[in-house]
Amino acid sequence: MAKRYPLSRASKEYDRLTGLYPQLPKLVTPYPQMNSGDRNCLEMALDMLDACSAKTGMPIDLTDTASTVDGRWVMSDDLPWIARWHACRQVYKIDRTVSDTLVEQELDGDLPVELLHRMPYPIIYVDAHVPVSCQTTKRWADGFFAYLDRDLMGELDMTFVYLMDDGTRSRMSLVIEDGATLETCLAHIADVDDVLDELTGGAMANNKITDPEELACLRYCATASLNLLLFVLSAENGAEIVYTPPKTPRGQKVGKRTNTETVRMLGAKIGSAIGAARRVRYAPHQGTGERTLAPHVRRAHWQSFWTGKRKGREDGKFGDELVVKWIPPIPVNQGAGEVTETVHLNSTEAGE
């Protein structure tokens, strides 16, 4: 395990903002699991908005729904992730081959939202290249914070805060309804501004997304984030702790800030296997009177199953815990060791 490890973009963003607003750590320390709907968060937000406006010399409008936030601002929606990251710094770095595959994979909408309740910490940072917009020019984030949040109406949301590759931030929230599926979350993806619309007396009505192409783009980006998050929460993801912060300052160089993050690498072996499968080259099939299944790759997908007690339950569940597992792309007929599926031709077909 490395003695030192470079700071993630998450902690760099936190350090940058606390450098601009030194009062932030003191403000958020008493509230390590702050939600955006908490009274203390709302009170802090008013003060912070005034401070931001004074700091930047720019007025901040609560009805402004720009998808990204100027890096100099600390908006009210930033306070929950800042408070949580201040108290808990857990980085999950996903192998690039695996993350690229997950980004392009369709989401299994039948998966229950119960899986998202299994967050291992109040907040995590997923270090993976992820699309945030695909309109005109695709825009990417270096990674994103993920945490469960309660909004102003008391609804539970899965919130993603993206750290864009151009230095800005973007945010997306999906309402998590009890007993719902992930498809339900995506179906209501355009309703995330309902709360702010109500609070601003309908001022948000003209900003709601209705264009089919924009909705498709938003769904694509949300699907990519959910797939990456599910991989973090899944079984057999090859998690390996590559760095833990030292318990004492011994050995730290003078003038160097201690990395207080715990960093896990996910999917390294899986990514290596996927890469090896993609490099396989095939010899053309010769006419042998047999029709063989063409070399191809079975698409990646999610597999869920229950563990624990099954018999005699009265709560309607099939076990104690629902577990999700990622099945990566599986090569078929792509080299030694693969089972070839063969269809034998009858005499008529063979003579054609």
Is residue 96 one of the residues assigned to a domain? yes
State pTM to two decimals: 0.81
The answer on 224 and 317 residing in a single domain is no
The answer on 291 and 239 residing in a single domain is no
Is residue 276 one of the residues assigned to a domain? no
Element (H or E) spanning 323, and its range? strand 321-327
Q: Is the dihedral of CA 247, 253, 258, 264 positive or negative?
A: negative
Per-residue pLDDT of the chain (352 residues; tens, 9 = 90+): 556 789 999 999 999 999 988 889 999 999 999 999 999 998 888 887 777 777 767 666 554 444 456 677 787 789 999 999 999 999 999 999 999 999 999 988 889 998 999 899 999 999 999 999 876 678 899 999 999 999 888 889 999 999 998 888 999 999 898 888 999 888 877 665 544 455 445 544 555 566 778 788 888 999 999 999 999 999 989 999 999 988 765 555 544 557 899 999 999 999 888 887 766 644 444 545 554 555 555 678 898 777 767 666 666 666 667 888 998 877 665 554 343 333 334 444 444 4
Query: For residue 269, what are its two tokens?
Result: 């072996």
The answer on 303 and 210 residing in a single domain is no
Is residue 253 one of the residues assigned to a domain? no
> Which of 181, 214, 243 is the C-terminal boundary of a domain?
243
Cα 255 off chain centre by: 34
The per-residue pLDDT for 249 is 58
Residues in the chain: 352
- HSE at residue 231, side-chain half, CA atoms within 13 A, is 36
Full DSSP string of 99-140: HHHHHHSPP-TTSBGGGGGG-SSS-EEEES-EEEE-SSS-EE
The per-residue pLDDT for 346 is 45
The answer to whether the beta carbons of residues 302 and 325 sit under 8 Å apart is: yes
Is residue 265 one of the residues assigned to a domain? no
Residue 31 domain boundaries = 9-243
The answer on 237 and 292 residing in a single domain is no
The per-residue pLDDT for 70 is 67
Is residue 139 one of the residues assigned to a domain? yes
Of 121, 127, 119, the C-alpha closest to 93 is 127
Is residue 249 one of the residues assigned to a domain? no
User: What is the biggest distance separating any 2 CA atoms in the chain, rounded to whole angstroms?
Assistant: 85
The answer on 295 and 172 residing in a single domain is no
Query: For residue 182, what are its two tokens?
Result: 């992930």
Of 27, 7, 8, 30, the C-alpha closest to 18 is 27
Number of domains the chain is built from: 2
d(CA 108, CA 222): 13
Is residue 3 one of the residues assigned to a domain? no
The answer to whether the beta carbons of residues 315 and 347 sit under 8 Å apart is: no
The per-residue pLDDT for 54 is 75
The answer to whether the beta carbons of residues 79 and 142 sit under 8 Å apart is: no
The answer on 294 and 211 residing in a single domain is no
Is residue 271 one of the residues assigned to a domain? no
